[in-house]
Chains A and B, each alone.
Chain A
Amino acid sequence: EDKVVQSPLSLVVHEGDTVTLNCSYEVTNFRSLLWYKQEKKAPTFLFMLTSSGIEKKSGRLSSILDKKELFSILNITATQTGDSAIYLCAVEAGNTDKLIFGTGTRLQVFP
């Protein structure tokens, strides 16, 4: 059965800290891995990763994929209170039209 596992489930840090969020997967016919940020309600797209070892970066956020070890990490440097959210990892399987989501990591950043 296809599955996506995220860790930790929850993380509490102070502003300025650096955090690493983990996502591992077991999916047949892997096509891509995606990260979303969910603040109040609707998830919003952050990154899509398809190739191993190529870092995607946007400001203080960056992500990388390891297709051999079947995992991805999302790094946030110099965290701010606005980074507080649930971060969702999802994997697209190439032979279906489905997106398989992990349970998410809840990040809380305090001043």
Chain B
Amino acid sequence: EAQVTQNPRYLITVTGKKLTVTCSQNMNHEYMSWYRQDPGLGLRQIYYSMNVEVTDKGDVPEGYKVSRKEKRNFPLILESPSPNQTSLYFCASSPTGMRGEKLFFGSGTQLSVL
């Protein structure tokens, strides 16, 4: 089954403790992206990747890192999480470039930073 898999689904952590949210897709998609969703602000793009070893900042990249060593994986790293990073995070992928009509979303990761 074609899917984007995020882990974990829920995470509660404390300020400053490094964490990684994993994202993996099984569709051989070139494009992958991370979004965060906050009440009243909609989905905002954090980072995206057009292909392996190519990553670019989105609209809200501060406090986050990503890597794209393999086509299928696009982990999101919070080196020193802070409470303002409490949010619902989505990973998404599409075949070639950012094509909204072919964007597959993961199920989301609800992160709480205390």
Contact = CB atoms under 8 A, between A and B. Distances in A.
Interface of A: 4, 32, 34, 41-45, 48, 88, 90, 92, 97-99, 101-104
A98 B58 contact: yes
Secondary structure of the B side of the interface? mixed
B100 A34 contact: yes
Contact of B108 (A41, A98, A104): A41
Contact of B100 (A41, A92, A102): A92
Given A42-B106, A42-B107, A90 B50 contact: no
B40 A98 contact: no
Q: Could you say which of B35, B41, B50, B101 has the most chain A C-beta atoms within 10 Å of its C-beta?
A: B101
Contact of B50 (A32, A97, A102): A97
Nearest to A43: B105
A10 to B, nearest CB: 11
Secondary structure of the A side of the interface? strand
A101 B44 contact: yes
Nearest to A89: B42
Contacts of B43: 43, 88, 90, 101
Contacts of A99: 45, 98, 100, 103
A34 B102 CA distance: 11
Nearest to A90: B100
B97 interface: yes
Contacts of B107: 41-42
Contacts of B103: 45, 99
A60 to B, nearest CB: 20
A98 B45 contact: yes
B105 A42 contact: yes
